[in-house]
Structure 1
Amino acid sequence: MKPPRRRLAVVAATLTLAGLTTACGAIGQAVDCNTAAGEATKIVTEWSSAIGNPDAIGTASETAATKTKELAGKYDGDVAAALNDLADGFAAMKGGDLAAVTEFSSKANGFTSKITAACA
């Protein structure tokens, strides 16, 4: 009778350990997502501050695209894809076109939603 109990104890311990590992992974993902979202927000804020005049749009957008691509390189899956989409949005404004800035601004909520959805 003792061997089946030992097996059950081993199975229960294994399942508990697997559950804790999964929970820690989920917590780690939430922290990573918060970090990614915070860094992306910081990049967007820096870009917004830097585009005070039309001459600065191209340089600020290129810098933001580079920073966002670097940030995306730290993540994988949906988070990286969402950050890469944001970087592509910045890259589209490299020429300093005001129409591109307006288009990007209208898409900004979509980029934020993609990052949030990737973290959900």
Structure 2
Amino acid sequence: MTPPRRRLALAFATFALAGLTITGCGAIGQAVDCNTAAAEVTPILNEFSTAMTSAAADPKAAEAAGQEAAAKVKTLAGNYDGEVGAALNDLATGLDGIKIDGSDPAGSLESVNKLQGFVTKIQQACA
């Protein structure tokens, strides 16, 4: 693997390990939503990360993995109202917007790094 591909694979792995540890939700209903959302989105993100790591050498496969994960998260977002639903929709948009360009590894890395911001937004919706 070339160094840029290693960096992309590392970014995907780091994103997966960051996961969704959603705690500190205020009201009981919000806590249930947060815990349920976290339980449902975590496997989608783990599956996405695995697909991205194995597709690090294939930009089209990586983008397809992002689109597939985005569709799943978008469907999941339909089950939630308020900030949790909005944050999940934002994550879906971020996943769908991943573009991998072999000639611009820094730009590719930037689109992947933005995903952590969306995960943080979900966490903040539950804080």
**CA separation of 1:74/1:97 partners in 2, compared to 1, >3 Å: closer, same or farther?**
farther
Residue 71 of structure 1 is aligned with which of 71, 76, 88?
Answer: 76
**Is 1:104 the equivalent of 2:120?**
no
Q: Name the TM-score, length of structure 2 as normaliser.
A: 0.65
How far 1:112 sits from its partner (Å)?
1.6
Measured on the aligned residues, the alpha-carbon RMSD in Å equals 2.1
Q: Which fold has the larger relative contact order, with Cα–Cα distance below 8 Å and residues 6 or more apart in sequence?
A: 2
The whole-number CA distance in structure 2 between the counterparts of 1:97 and 1:86 is 21
Listed as ranges, the matches of 1:39-118 within 5 Å are 39-51=40-52, 52-53=54-55, 54=58, 55-93=60-98, 96-97=100-101, 99=105, 101-118=108-125
From the two aligned structures, give the one with the greater helix fraction.
1
The whole-number CA distance in structure 2 between the counterparts of 1:39 and 1:101 is 27
Render the CA deviation track for 1:50-82: whole Å, top value 9, x for unaligned. Answer: 121224212211110100100110001111111
How far 1:46 sits from its partner (Å)?
0.5
The whole-number CA distance in structure 2 between the counterparts of 1:113 and 1:82 is 9
Runs of 4 or more above 6 Å deviation: none
User: What are structure 1's unaligned runs of at least 5 residues?
Assistant: 1-24
- Which has the greater radius of gyration? 1
User: 2:39 matched to which residue of 1?
Assistant: 38
Aligned length in residues: 95
What percentage of residue pairs aligned between the two structures are identical?
A: 53
User: 1:22 matched to which residue of 2?
Assistant: none
The whole-number CA distance in structure 2 between the counterparts of 1:104 and 1:32 is 28
User: 2:7 matched to which residue of 1?
Assistant: none
8 Å Cα contact 2:95/2:115 also seen in 1: no
The whole-number CA distance in structure 2 between the counterparts of 1:85 and 1:79 is 10
Q: Name the TM-score, length of structure 1 as normaliser.
A: 0.68
How far 1:101 sits from its partner (Å)?
4.4
**One-letter amino acid of the structure 1 residue matched with residue 81 of structure 2:** D
